[in-house]
């Protein structure tokens, strides 16, 4: 049985997925488990250069297929050089976005087709899917309000428009129905503490199988 554990965090921009990833990482460290944290696109020298191209508003429009393949190229490098070696060493790997982002954003958002994008990503990842995907689901309008409240400049993808994010949000729900054993569909509308409790319920069985016991949330707080 494989020793490592790969958990991805997904959701539309502003859903709170990155906050929940960081909270889980802190709880793992509190019990002596140092997780490997990676982000997509990025996580490698090549991936970070691709990230700059994909997210910089100055890049402008990219052909949807080219965009999807750039994400897949970054992911291929990340899996080969970082994720697979870490899993072989028995590490817990927490990734901020993974294959499901491409299925939702390029497959549905850019209307390339989920199955077409999936095929490219199975090649890129050598078939490596997460043991668990935490989908922090939030209505796109609410997510955009959260993003606006931060005052941060929007990247190229965040400027894609309401129709794009509506399609991506719907695709995430479709993916959760397609792979219910892998994707935990978490209601992201609550407070960070409330969402964390839902995430905790989803990750606990996987961590238990990996021999990791987290402190109760009350003790962690």
**pLDDT tens digits, 14-72:** 999 999 999 999 999 999 999 999 999 999 999 999 999 999 999 999 999 999 999 99
The CA distance from 168 to 103, in Å, is 8
Identify the CA nearest to 179 among candidates 117, 131, 113, 121. 131
E strands present in 68-110: 92-96
* CATH code for the domain of 79: 3.40.50.300
Q: What is the pLDDT of residue 55?
A: 97
In contact, 65 and 95? CB cutoff 8 Å: no
Identify the CA nearest to 104 among candidates 25, 38, 15. 15
Q: What is the pLDDT of residue 91?
A: 97
Q: What is the pLDDT of residue 137?
A: 98
- Name the 3-class secondary structure at 72: helix
In contact, 81 and 42? CB cutoff 8 Å: no
In contact, 200 and 214? CB cutoff 8 Å: yes
Is a pLDDT exceeding 80 seen at residue 218?
no
Q: What is the pLDDT of residue 111?
A: 98
In the chain, the number of structural domains is 1
Q: What is the pLDDT of residue 3?
A: 80
Q: What is the pLDDT of residue 37?
A: 98
Question: What is the mean pLDDT of the segment spanning 70-79?
Answer: 98
Pairing of strands 5-10, 92-96: parallel
Q: What is the pLDDT of residue 120?
A: 98
Confidence class for position 1, pLDDT limits 50, 70, 90: low
Domain residue limits at 163: 5-220
Mean of the per-residue pLDDT values of the chain: 96
Identify the CA nearest to 23 among candidates 94, 79, 88. 94
């Amino acid at each position: 049985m494989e020793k490592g554990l790969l958990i991805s965090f997904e959701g539309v921009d502003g859903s709170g997925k990155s906050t929940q990833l960081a909270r889980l990482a802190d709880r793992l460290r509190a019990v002596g488990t140092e997780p490997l944290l990676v982000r997509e696109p990025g996580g490698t020298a090549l991936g970070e250069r691709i990230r700059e191209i994909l997210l910089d508003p100055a890049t402008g429009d990219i052909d949807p297929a080219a965009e999807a393949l750039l994400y897949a190229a970054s992911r291929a490098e990340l899996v080969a050089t970082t994720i697979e070696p870490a899993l072989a060493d028995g590490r817990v790997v927490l990734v901020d976005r993974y294959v499901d982002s491409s299925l939702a954003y390029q497959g549905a958002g850019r209307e390339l087709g989920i199955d077409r994008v999936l095929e490219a990503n199975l090649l890129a990842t050598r078939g490596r899917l997460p043991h668990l995907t935490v989908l922090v689901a939030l209505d796109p309008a609410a997510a955009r309000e959260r993003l606006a409240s931060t005052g941060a400049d929007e990247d190229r993808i965040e400027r894609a428009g309401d129709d794009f994010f509506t399609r991506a949000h719907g695709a995430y729900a479709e993916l959760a129905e397609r792979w219910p054993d892998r994707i935990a569909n978490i209601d992201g509308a609550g407070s960070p503490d409330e969402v964390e409790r839902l995430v905790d319920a989803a990750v606990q069985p996987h961590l238990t199988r990996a021999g990791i016991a987290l402190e109760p949330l009350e003790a962690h707080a």
